[in-house]
Amino acid sequence: MSHTAAQTLSGAGQFLSVPALLERNATVYADRPAYREKEFGIWQSWTWRETAEEIDALALGLLTLGVSEGDFIAIIGRNRPSLYWSMVAAQSVGAVPVPIYQDSGPEEMAYVLDHCGAAYVIAGDQEQVDKVVEIKDQLENLKHVIYVDPRGLRKYDHEHLHPYREVQERGRAARAEVGGELTTRRARLSYDSTCVMLYTSGTTGRPKGVVLSNRNVIESAKNASEFDKLTEREEVLSYLPMAWVGDFIFSLGQSYWCGFCVNCPESPDTMMTDLREIGPTYFFAPPRVFEGQLTNVMIRMEDASRLKQRMFHYFLAHAKKVGGRILDGKPVSGSDRLKYWLGNLLIYGPLKDTLGYGRIRVGYTAGEAIGPEIFDFYRSLGINLKQLYGQTEATVFITVQPDGEVRADTVGVPAPDVEIKIDETGEIHYRSPGTFVEYYKNAESTASTKDAEGWVATGDAGFIEETSGHLRIIDRAKDVGKMADGAMFAPKYVENKLKFYPDILEAVVFGNGRDRCVAFINIDLTAVGNWAERNNIAYGSYQELAGHPRVLETIRSHVEAVNVSVAQDEMLSGCQIHRFVVLHKELDADDGEITRTGKVRRRIVEEKFADIIAALYDGSEQVSTRTEVTYEDGRKGAISATLSLVDAKVQSAITRAVAAE
Amino acid sequence: MLDQSDSYLTEDGRRIGAVVMEMKNITLRFGGVVAIKDISFDIREGEIRAIIGPNGAGKSSMLNVISGFYVPQDGEVLFHGKKRPPMRPYEVARQGIARTFQNIALFDGMSVLDNVMTGRLNYMKTNLFQQALWKGWAEKEETENREVVEKIIDFLEIQAIRKTPVARLPYGLKKRVELARALAAEPKLLLLDEPMAGMNVEEKEDMSRFILDVNDEFGTTIALIEHDMGVVMDLSDRVVVMDYGKKIGDGTPDEVRNNQDVIDAYLGVSHD
């Protein structure tokens, strides 16, 4: 039975909650796979019918543990079917699932659990249970903790600790007593009851709990699925943090709406192998993943035989010329098509297969701007990679790129049912069925973000291109500034250009209110380490490699090349980088320098490394600094370093006189 | 000291059983060199028993006596109360003893999976010919053994390197693969020869956790040799201290820590 037929059959407007969609899937797609997880080297799979049974048993078990409607149930762990089931089981009993970033430290976790007053926690393994146990004295509401993987937990005090399987068993055994209650509670779920609460990582301040209703999630999932014509036959790999709205929509919302299968990797380290084995048809990744894969391909090609290298570069050049046009359905000459077909046979096909993109129909990147060269690389291979622009408060979708209208420099047209307006300061506002209900226990923030008519301020500056109707993002509104001479300062624009170089993992540009721009650079250890190995450069640590004179020289050449490119943009030519420093440590979420989703927290970096910035501006050659670092387990340490500050050549723009160094 | 027969519970709730192996007045000589001089101690079921001592104290020789690789000139080894005759390595393995080596002894060119599979050798009944045909019984047998191996791979979190040739792995991971291979034999007594040698702090912490988990999850008795005092004291239930082939201390980590002979051996004695 086809997807659309199924929905017309039962009426699209009748599924008012995720558990209701589950019920439909268990009937309509009963024997189709709903979940797969690789365990013990084999892909274990569950059909929708089996999934419904698993969720049912857990929901009943939760009732025996005394879960009340409106309770918050925190879910912490890596992507596993059992944790996705936990979310739907929580919804089934009228509770609110709150997925939490599994790599948060105990402090962060304590804040979130305390803020929502979580009564129950469902944790993936011992690591997560340990964190909860550590902070349990601060959590007055916490009643029970359920864990999935029993390993190492046998000796723990089990008064308030329960194995997942056991809760399910209890549920199955108690079906006669609490089954009726479950049915009643499920029936009470409405389009406006809370579907999930997601904490935004936030580049500033404390995380905020975004409350999303069933309407938000189901409408958004439905619109986006129809936009890309997704069916129950899609395969997705869910590896992105479960606490992130993107994963919630792709791996839960859209999966339940369409009835497609969610595949969970064996462990975070095996993600790339699992990606290849699954070959998803619908894929979502932040730019970092695509950048990392491209870097890996390029490094590995250097080890390939001469012939292979020549073929690779020859056909890649051809793909660059016509690949994107073919994908967009634009006219391409017959001989070029033939050559592309040959290239596909010899290079693109095998390469896509190695990357795990052999079957991809629709791929999205979002979260950050992607380097145009990286974007075009994937598209030229025939991978339909598109961009979308969204945020947690919009249940992801604000704008998306329709097939055939994909460009690296825009983020597409408003998604179905989304209205967009740009205010006089250039900030983007939207209104849509996905617009969030509220920030939990934070009426003030809710009011300042969402106005009475439902318009939400995104905090991003952008404009709608008149010729195409596509939205272009300039930068975070609060990051866009002015240089001392009044020229526009848009750090992200320059940073993205820098980050295209495989050697550069992260860049932070400063210059707001100043006469010149300077930059922090993080080297990419994989790429630079590989280069060092090839050039017989010995190094003992990240810090040593980052400070190596030849590394600095290479980075300088990248910075100067970026300056040339930036100088060509009249509006932004003032953003050229005059001096830079290669940092002695990677910016890290544990130190609060980037968010858990990998966005730079500009203010924090600026404060933390104020001494280095000062040195960049006062012209000194070197700076000695001491930085506090937090280890994964929460312990603190410090690293000291003497960093070289490097001058870079800048271009004089035509319209602006730039004082050359 | 402990009662010889009774079992007891540790502070963290593990059951330590009866004596499984007892060394009685062991003396081992290589020509004129006395490597082990009149040493007696025992290993109880379910405990983590450490042998420590400075370089050249005779620790590895002791482990080789336990494993049956060396036959002592004097004294006897009692296994489950019975005197153990000299044995060949596979006979030792069949008794439920497995070990890892100080300087890793894996098959470099083979994948991690294949290396760990070799640990199942004693459980395979089919012959070379049957295995080459890969039909019926041979296939079933391999599937069963693969299942055990996969559980160990999962347990030690080495899924990501399952298909990687061992030669390409860093040192710390090779050590873990060796442990995996030893575990694949489903030993009752696991001997670890310096499991943490040459590791950085993080790798040591990981390895400690795995050793504790193995002991906890499978109830495996573990005897280990280790240099790193901190690790030994955190990990073990009881510690034997050796110096110049002699036993100079035996007891719980606390008892050993306060033993004057041990302090002297480790910190040196002042000669004034």
Per-residue CA distances from A510 to A212, A485, A570, A612 (Å)? 36, 15, 19, 11
**Of B14, B151, B157, which has the smallest distance from its Cβ to A267's Cβ?**
B157
Q: Is B150 in Cβ contact with A269 (below 8 Å)? A: no
- pLDDT tens digits along A226-281: 999 999 999 999 999 999 999 999 999 999 999 999 999 999 889 989 999 999 99
Q: What would the mean pLDDT of B142-149 be, rounded to a whole number? A: 91
Torsion over CA: A275, A276, A281, A286 (sign): positive
Confidence check: pLDDT of A631 > 90: no
Q: Is A41 in Cβ contact with B153 (below 8 Å)? A: yes
B213 touches chain A (CB under 8 A): yes
Q: Is B157 in Cβ contact with A40 (below 8 Å)? A: no
Confidence check: pLDDT of B8 > 90: no
Cβ neighbours of residue A313 under 8 Å, at least 6 residues apart? none
A635 touches chain B (CB under 8 A): no
- pLDDT tens digits along B201-219: 888 888 999 999 899 888 8
- pLDDT tens digits along A137-148: 999 999 999 999
User: Rounded to two decimals, what is the model's pTM?
Assistant: 0.83
Predicted local confidence at residue A263, as pLDDT:
97
Exposed (0-12), middle (13-18) or buried (19+): which is A57, by Cβ within 10 Å?
buried
- Cα–Cα dist A123/B75, whole Å: 53
What is residue A645's three-state secondary structure? Answer: strand
- pLDDT tens digits along A378-416: 999 999 999 999 999 999 999 999 998 898 888 999 999
- Cα–Cα dist B86/B68, whole Å: 7
| β A194-200/A208-213 pair status | antiparallel
What is residue B165's DSSP assignment? B
Predicted local confidence at residue A13, as pLDDT:
65
Complex-level ipTM: 0.76
Predicted local confidence at residue A660, as pLDDT:
39
Q: Is B155 in Cβ contact with A41 (below 8 Å)? A: no
Interface of B with A in 17-46 (CB under 8 A): none
- pLDDT tens digits along A578-592: 999 999 999 988 888
Predicted local confidence at residue B244, as pLDDT:
87
Q: What would the mean pLDDT of A425-429 be, rounded to a whole number? A: 88
Confidence check: pLDDT of B102 > 90: no
- pLDDT tens digits along B16-48: 888 889 999 999 999 888 899 999 999 999 999
Nearest CA distance, A78 vs chain B (angstrom)? 14
- Cα–Cα dist A122/A99, whole Å: 9
Q: Is A151 in Cβ contact with B150 (below 8 Å)? A: no
Predicted local confidence at residue B269, as pLDDT:
67
Confidence check: pLDDT of A1 > 80: no
DSSP H helical ranges for A252-305: 254-258, 271-278, 287-301
Predicted local confidence at residue A238, as pLDDT:
95
B168 touches chain A (CB under 8 A): no
Confidence check: pLDDT of A441 > 90: yes
Q: Is B162 in Cβ contact with A154 (below 8 Å)? A: no
A644 touches chain B (CB under 8 A): no
Predicted local confidence at residue B270, as pLDDT:
62
Predicted local confidence at residue A655, as pLDDT:
46
Predicted local confidence at residue B17, as pLDDT:
84
- pLDDT tens digits along A461-501: 888 988 889 998 877 777 888 888 888 888 888 888 888 78
Q: Is A270 in Cβ contact with B159 (below 8 Å)? A: yes
**If you count residue pairs, one on A and one on B, with CB atoms under 8 Å apart, how many are there?**
34
- pLDDT tens digits along B217-239: 888 999 999 877 888 888 999 99
Predicted local confidence at residue B272, as pLDDT:
55
- Percent residues over pLDDT 90 in chain A: 66
Confidence check: pLDDT of A80 > 90: yes
Concatenated DSSP letters of A211-256: EEEHHHHHHHHHHHHHHTT--TT-EEE--S-TTSHHHIIIIIIHHH
Which candidate in B113, B116, B154 is best for mutational testing of the A interface (most A CBs within 10 A)? B154
